[in-house]
């Protein structure tokens, strides 16, 4: 448990039927120097059955799908914003695992400089001929964005169907809660 990040855990148990039996709380200090620790902790292989292979400098593996937003507004990160928090931008390439989509299997390789997505290459596409496509950050289609985002090694929380207590034990969220 990282003392720098956790200040307390609250656990409630009870007989609540629909929405609550256990609650975890984590309190972090001003999150300034946490980025490296977070990235390291999250990429320990506990997340994602098919771990992405990361090529390049591991200094900034933070995958920020929001920077590739096409205007649908899933992110608060404005692509036009000056990059904050990454003084020296390193180039990182992530090869995603194969994703089944409604169009067929898709596998992409994405490249970031800092948190900015600079390239998406389609390694496997539903069409028979594999093609490499240079897609600008702004034009990245939702589909590719989802696929690349799914390979992110670093997540803060997990959304899913309401888990049972047993389901929770198996969940990535429980790992995140324990990680501190």
Partner 1 sequence: MGTVFSLDVRATAPDVAARAAADAFALLREAEARFSPFLADSELRRFERGECAPSSDLHEVLAIAERASAASGGAFDVRAPDGSLDTNGVVKGWAAQRAADALAAAGCGAFCLNAGGDVVTRGVPEPGRGWRTGVRDPHDPRRMLAVVELGDGAVATSGVYERGSHVWDGRTGRPATGLLAATVVAEDLTTADVLATSVLALGPDGVAWALDHGARDAFGVRPDGRLVTAARAAPSPGA
Say how far apart CA 180 and CA 168 lie, in whole Å: 17
The nearer residue to partner 1, 134 or 159, going by C-beta atoms, is: 159
Phi-psi region of 134 (alpha: psi -120 to 50; beta: other; left: phi over 0): beta
Q: Which two tokens stand for residue 91?
A: 């180039």
The nearer residue to partner 1, 71 or 134, going by C-beta atoms, is: 71
Closest approach of partner 1 to the CB of residue 11, in Å:
10
Q: Which residues of 36-58 are buried (b: 16+ CB within 10 A; e: fewer)?
A: eebbebbbeeebbeeebebeeee
The nearer residue to partner 1, 83 or 91, going by C-beta atoms, is: 83
Closest approach of partner 1 to the CB of residue 165, in Å:
6
The nearer residue to partner 1, 119 or 153, going by C-beta atoms, is: 153
Q: In 3D, which of 135, 131, 130, 77 has the Cα closest to residue 111? A: 135
Element (H, E) at 92: strand 91-95
């Amino acid at each position: 448990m990282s003392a720098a990040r956790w200040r307390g855990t609250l656990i409630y148990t009870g007989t609540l039927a629909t929405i609550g039996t256990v609650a975890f709380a984590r309190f972090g200090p001003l999150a300034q120097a946490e980025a490296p620790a977070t990235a390291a902790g999250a990429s320990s292989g506990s997340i994602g059955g098919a771990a992405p292979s990361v090529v390049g400098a591991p200094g900034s593996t933070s995958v920020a799908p929001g920077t590739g937003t096409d205007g649908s507004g899933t992110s608060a990160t404005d692509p036009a914003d000056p990059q904050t928090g990454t003084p020296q931008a390193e180039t990182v390439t992530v090869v995603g695992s194969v994703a089944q989509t409604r169009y067929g299997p898709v596998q992409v390789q994405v490249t970031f400089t800092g948190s900015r997505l600079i390239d998406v290459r389609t390694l496997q596409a539903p069409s028979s001929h594999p093609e490499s496509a240079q897609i600008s950050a702004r034009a990245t289609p939702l589909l590719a964005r989802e696929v690349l985002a799914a390979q992110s090694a670093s997540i803060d929380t997990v959304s899913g169907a309401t888990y049972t207590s047993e389901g929770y034990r198996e969940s990535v969220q429980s790992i995140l809660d324990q990680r501190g």
